[in-house]
Chains A and B, each alone.
Chain A
Amino acid sequence: GENVEQHPSTLSVQEGDSAVIKCTYSDSASNYFPWYKQELGKRPQLIIDIRSNVGEKKDQRIAVTLNKTAKHFSLHITETQPEDSAVYFCAASRRRSSGDKLTFGTGTRLAVRP
């Protein structure tokens, strides 16, 4: 089955700096890569996603990049703000005849210091 590894497990940055979270996946058939943000005690929420036919996608201060050859993808947050503090999960999904299967990484706890 799919295995998704995520690094680092914790990340502390100064407000205004950039943060980068990296993930690798094992199944070359995976074709969809969402990122979720989970604030303390709340549900995971989708913040951005990328499909395998695209190398990069940007949404305001958030961007994702995908390297299919190396089977890794990254989340980039620029101009970080205290409200970006949360746990971020990457995930990989592949289409099956029985439906899409999403496998999550282990999470990165991001702390933005004011």
Chain B
Amino acid sequence: EAGVAQSPRYKIIEKRQSVAFWCNPISGHATLYWYQQILGQGPKLLIQFQNNGVVDDSQLPKDRFSAERLKGVDSTLKIQPAKLEDSAVYLCASSLDRVPYPYFGPGTRLTVL
């Protein structure tokens, strides 16, 4: 079984620039998550999709972050404009419907200079 795929793996940008991350979940997984993991901290949920609908985006900084999941499969997370404090690893994860533990992708390490 293929795992969660993410790209790019690394990204370096300057503050105020824009960046987008892509995620392809495990086939058949209805739930997709985007987490932000700042160095030395646990993953923090940014947004959770159930199929193509948002079920939780309470911790998403909506003035600069946006995410979509078209057709209930792939998802993109965008940051516009980026700030220094956005430097982190962005983890995409997915799970089967009604299964509480997500499988994580390899993450995208974002550095904002």
> Given A104-B42, A104-B43, A106-B42: A98 and B102 within 8 A (CB)?
no
> Given A43-B107, A44-B91: A102 and B44 within 8 A (CB)?
no
Kindly state whether residue A95 has any CB partner on chain B within 8 Å.
yes
Question: Number of residues in B with C-beta < 8 Å to the partner?
Answer: 23
Interface segment among B13-21, B48-56, B79-87: the answer is B48-56
Chain B residues within 8 Å of A99, by CB: 31, 48, 50, 55-56
Q: Once bound together, how far apart are the Cα atoms of A107 and B98, in whole Å?
A: 25
Pick from B45, B58, B107: contact of A102, CB below 8 A: B45
CB contacts under 8 Å to B, within A34-48, are: 34, 42-46
Q: Residue among B31, B48, B50 with the most chain A CB within 10 A?
A: B48
> Given A98-B50, A98-B56, A99-B31: A49 and B91 within 8 A (CB)?
no
The answer to whether B104 touches A45, judged by C-beta atoms less than 8 angstroms apart, is yes
The answer to whether A44 touches B43, judged by C-beta atoms less than 8 angstroms apart, is yes
Question: Number of residues in A with C-beta < 8 Å to the partner?
Answer: 25
CB contacts under 8 Å to B, within A75-114, are: 89, 91, 93, 95, 98-107
Q: Once bound together, how far apart are the Cα atoms of A97 and B46, in whole Å?
A: 19
Give the 10 A-B CB pairs with smallest separation, nearest first: A104-B42, A100-B100, A98-B55, A43-B104, A93-B100, A99-B55, A32-B100, A34-B101, A89-B42, A44-B104
Name B residues whose Cβ lies closer than 8 Å to a Cβ of A. Answer: 31, 40-45, 48, 50, 55-56, 58, 91, 98-107
Name A residues whose Cβ lies closer than 8 Å to a Cβ of B. Answer: 1, 4, 6, 32, 34, 42-46, 49, 89, 91, 93, 95, 98-107
